[in-house]
Amino acid sequence: MFDQKNIFITGGTGSWGNELVKQLLEKYNPKKITIYSRGEHKQVEMKRHFNNPKLRFIIGDVRDKNILELAMRGADFVFHLAALKHVPVCEENCWEAVLTNVIGTQNVIECAIKNKVAKVIDVSTDKAVDPFNLYGVTKACGEKLVVNANNNYISDVKFACIRGGNVMGTNGSVLPLFKKQILENNQITITDPNMTRYLMSTREAISLVFSAMEASNGGEIFVMRMPATTVSDIAEVMIKLFGNKDTKIQYMGTRPGEKQHEVLVSKNEAPRTKIYKDDYYVIIPQITDEKTQNSYDSFKSLELEEFTSRNARRLSKQELETLILKEDWIK
């Protein structure tokens, strides 16, 4: 669906953006991919890395609607990735998080409508479900704006979301941090060993983004049926890979805004959630048209009360190790 199309990516220089561009170029033949972000350094690095004339880099902020609208001209599909995403940073800079994650998302919606884009996919997070920190609250607001944009405005643009859990090796992920801590001090700091977290590779995350862009009728939230692990299992496997019998573990306790378990489908959403193609759940919007409703009629309903990192399939330590060893950053 992306062949000879113009793709526009906000926040395209980040971890998800780099993998998204890589897979778009590998699997499709897009006409142009525009990457819109603020930092010139990351853009220059990415331009050098890909060295592909199909890529167009534009410096801009999602908060700046005028530039965003100009930059988005001619786009067929928009992937909205730009966000402030570190829980402590958002707690300490609340208004900045609102400006980027909420106002920025509304700007993306309005510019997509003005530019008559075909589809917009907003990348959201498990932290947006029953949110407990400001990052989650702003991403939940973003989801609502995106889902409701299908009904709030008269336009042909289709808006949908995807929700992912932790992606290994992305900026700020705990796994590369553990590696660094072991190699530098032969010690790791962990919050709570029993904490559970969803875990997937960037490659898997991007396949969910493509599926959502292809399948969406507008208003759905696509969720990957991700497996989960405990913080203590991650620590154990990382020590096995990089440490030795003297590697120490320091326990810090839960940080402000952190949950013991994450949720990808809440109790309120579960009754309108369908199992889509074995790998995904799709949450049908509360307000929707007959076409969207009918298109999921034949899919089985979710039979869980909610989908959490506690009741998700638990990765064995061997599976976890195999997953980690496939990651590029491990080298």
The structure tokens listed for 275 are: 């199992």
CB 73 within 8 A of CB 33: no
Q: Which of 119, 127, 139, 158 is catalytic?
A: 127
Contact 101, 78 (CB under 8 A): no
Residue 45 or 214 having the CB closest to ligand NAP: 45
Contacts (Cβ under 8 Å, ≥6 apart) of 138: 84, 90, 97, 98, 100, 101, 102
Q: Is 14 in the site for ligand NAP (CB under 6 A)?
A: yes
Q: Is 144 a catalytic residue?
A: no
Q: How many residues bind ligand NAP (CB under 6 A)?
A: 30
82 interacts with ligand NAP by CB under 6 A: yes
Residue 300 CA to residue 143 CA, distance in Å, equals: 24
Location of structure tokens 């977290």: 197
**Using CB under 6 A, which of the segments 167-175, 220-228, 280-288, 290-298 binds ligand NAP?**
167-175
- Does 17 sit near ligand NAP (CB under 6 A)? yes
281 in contact with ligand NAP (CB under 6 A): no
Contact between 70 and 114 (Cβ < 8 Å): no
**What's the CA gap between 63 and 104, in Å, rounded?**
5
Near ligand NAP by CB under 6 A: residue from 10, 115, 181, 217: 10
Yes or no: say if 239 and 324 are a contact pair by the CB < 8 Å rule.
no
Of 6, 33, 34, 37, which lies in the binding site for ligand NAP, with binding defined by CB under 6 A? 37
Q: Please name the residues in contact with 48: beta carbons below 8 A apart, sequence gap of 6 or more.
A: none
39 binds ligand NAP (CB under 6 A): yes
Using CB under 6 A, pick the residue from 34, 100, 181, 196 that binds ligand NAP. 100
Q: Phi-psi region for residue 295, left (φ > 0), alpha (ψ -120 to 50) or beta?
A: alpha
CB of 298 to ligand NAP, least distance (A): 29
Nearer to ligand NAP, 139 or 158 (CB): 139
- According to CB under 6 A, which residues from 112 to 131 bind ligand NAP? 123, 125
* Residue selected from 22, 38, 47, 56 as contacting ligand NAP according to rule CB under 6 A: 38
3-class DSSP state of 300: coil
What is the contact surface with ligand NAP in residues (CB under 6 A)?
10-17, 37-39, 42, 61-63, 81-85, 100, 104, 123, 125, 139, 164, 166-167, 170-171
Active site amino acids = 127
